[in-house]
Amino acid sequence: MASSGEDRRAWVPLGSLPEFADVTPLPQDDGPSPVVAIAYRDEFRETMDYFRSLYSSRELSPRSLLITTLAISFNPANYTVWQFRRQVLEALDADLTDELDFTERVAKGNAKNYQLWHHRRWVAEKLGSDAAYRELEFTRKIFYLDAKNYHAWSHRQWVLQALGGWENELDYCVQLLEEDVLNNSAWNQRYFVVTKSPLLGGLKAVRDSEVDYAIEAINMNPQNESPWRYLRGLYNDENDAWLNDSRVPSACLRVLKAKRNFKFALSTLLDLLCLGFKPNQEIRDAITSLRTPDSGEVGSDSDLAKSICSILGHEDPMRANYWTWRSSKLPQAAEV
């Protein structure tokens, strides 16, 4: 009999094993005339027939645990099998650290399986804070293979909030961004840490240093949208703080002067103008120098905002209609 997906070719029929001698297989009922009968492999069909028999009798035994292991090796997305496995584990008072080993083996070939991650969370929750370090390390392994695995990021955030482990998380974000500054998942995690970690004192406590961090990343890669979005998020709904931080327009100006990769700098200035920002002459001149023939004359701040939309329509053709729409809304917004 196989114990995992790797050795299924050494399959021994369950009916020939003494531990299943008293189990009557329960075949799948496809009705009298299935339109398209699925050609299941013999091993899969036999496993599921035995699973259905044990499941229907609600037998919570070691052999039921074994049959779920086999069923999962054939189809890791079968949520009924996973649910039954949890019931068996609880009834047997099983060692759940072994279950973490099991799920890690399954994850090697099924790292985006919803049922697997739901089960892993259930196990970690049962183990409590003692499992925090192992879960964080588990997600690290997943990110090594797929840095943007949504399931792993969601699990990691849950672990931090439910089980702890915040101590080194900001450093971990730094590490990931040093490896790949374009990793938007790592930027998102950094924002999660600075807003949720009980060790940092909240967003306002770290905002000043985080603004510097974001602007440094912008200076190095102004075409990278992530630090621009991160920078805006640091002010959340505090528009006064956003408007009054001179570092933001200064960062935009540096990018505009380079006359390349300025799309996000312009869109940031547009957002500021719509909130009442009053640009100095140097910023106005930098924007004017980028104008296209149809940008129109620049007089008021409203004209300047419209000019930005025109420039962005050329620089960002994929969203040209969006910038046209933004321009149509500007007179009222920019005059506030």
* pLDDT value of residue 336: 38
Give the domain ranges of the chain. 1-93, 255-336
C-alpha radius of gyration, the chain, whole number: 29
Cα–Cα dist 270/281, whole Å: 16
Residue pair 202/196 in contact (Cβ under 8 Å)? The answer is no
> How many residues are recorded in the chain?
336
* pLDDT value of residue 217: 97
pLDDT tens digits, one per residue of 173-196: 999 999 999 999 999 999 999 999
Confidence of residue 6 (pLDDT cuts 50, 70, 90): very low
pLDDT tens digits, one per residue of 190-249: 999 999 999 999 999 999 999 999 999 999 999 999 999 999 999 988 999 999 999 999
pLDDT tens digits, one per residue of 80-132: 999 999 999 999 999 999 999 999 999 999 999 999 999 999 999 999 999 99
Residue 112 appears among annotated catalytic residues: yes
What pTM was computed for the model?
A: 0.88
The secondary structure of 203-263 as a DSSP string is HHHHHHHHHHHHHHHHHH-TT-HHHHHHHHHTTTT-HHHHHH-THHHHHHHHHHHHTSS-H
Query: Does the pLDDT at position 293 exceed 70?
Result: no
Between 279-288, 289-298, 302-311, the lowest mean confidence (pLDDT) is in: 289-298
Enter the tokens of residue 200: 């940092």
Residue pair 224/247 in contact (Cβ under 8 Å)? The answer is no
Annotated catalytic residue, options 108, 112, 141, 148 = 112
Residue identified by tokens 């931090």 is: 160
CB neighbours of 168 closer than 8 A, spacing ≥ 6?
none
Cα–Cα dist 138/152, whole Å: 9
* pLDDT value of residue 141: 96
pLDDT tens digits, one per residue of 135-151: 999 999 999 999 999 99
* pLDDT value of residue 335: 43
Q: How far is CA 197 from CA 125, 127, 170, 205, in A?
A: 19, 22, 9, 11
Confidence of residue 9 (pLDDT cuts 50, 70, 90): low
Query: Does the pLDDT at position 7 exceed 70?
Result: no
Confidence of residue 334 (pLDDT cuts 50, 70, 90): very low
Average pLDDT of the residues of the chain: 91
Q: How far is CA 75 from CA 45, 107, 108, in A?
A: 12, 12, 14
